[in-house]
Amino acid sequence: MKNIIAIASTVIVLILMGYTFSTGGAFQGGEAGHVIEDIGSFKKKQANNSTQPPENENVEEDKIRALRDKAGNTAMFEVSNAYKSKCASCHGIDGSGLQNGKKLMGPGLLGQSEEKLFTDLVDFKAGRKENLIMKGLLINLSEEDLKEYAKEIAQFKARKEALEK
């Protein structure tokens, strides 16, 4: 009986040894060996990656440059503070009547002549052209002010086109 137990446990030990050997266990440094191996392959991966970044960076840089160009162009389309604060919210910062492609409350003003803009503004103010919003906005403005707005807005289209070239 004792012999059987001894043989059986020897067999079990041998099987376990075989198993640990086949999985690269104790004989090759066990867990520590795995960790070192992992670090090695990690470094290798990093080394592989390090050959790619120049490409990626260029793509990113191009994107950033494109964004900067865009921002620069928008910044270059300068409008008076008066227009920005009083009119842009409804007619768009460039008079297009749009903001980020969405229609604002007011119509687009691009391409209208100074005379037409001025007449419209005067008519709004006088109530000949009825619109409570515009009337309320213009009521405190002098004819000189209206002329300034008309003059500025009439230039938007040409300035926008010049920028897009």
Distance CA(79)–CA(83), nearest Å, equals: 6
Residues numbered 57-86 forming contacts with ligand HEC, rule: CB under 6 A: 86
Question: Cα separation of 63 and 145, whole Å?
Answer: 42
Work out the burial of residue 65: count CB atoms within 10 Å of its CB; fewer than 13 is exposed, 13-18 middle, 19 or more buried.
exposed
Closest CA to 125 of 110, 74, 115, 133: 133
Residue 91 sits in the site that holds ligand HEC (CB under 6 A): yes
120 binds ligand HEC (CB under 6 A): yes
Nearer to ligand HEC, 34 or 129 (CB): 129
CA 114 from centre of chain: 36
Which of 93, 121, 125, 156 is the binder for ligand HEC (CB under 6 A)? 121
Q: Should residue 93 be labelled a site residue for ligand HEC when binding is judged by CB under 6 A? A: no
Residues in the chain, overall count: 165
Per-residue x/- marks for ligand HEC, 129-158, CB under 6 A?
Answer: --x-xx--x-----------x---------
Of residues 149, 22, 34, the one with CA closest to residue 85? 149
What is the nearest approach in angstroms of ligand HEC to the Cβ of residue 76? 21
- Please count the residues of this chain forming the interface with ligand HEC, following the rule CB under 6 A: 17
Q: How far apart (Å, rounded) are the C-alpha atoms in residues 17 and 151?
A: 93
Q: How far apart are CB 139 and ligand HEC at their closest, in Å?
A: 11
Contacts with ligand HEC by CB under 6 A lie at 86-87, 89-91, 105-107, 109, 117, 120-121, 131, 133-134, 137, 149
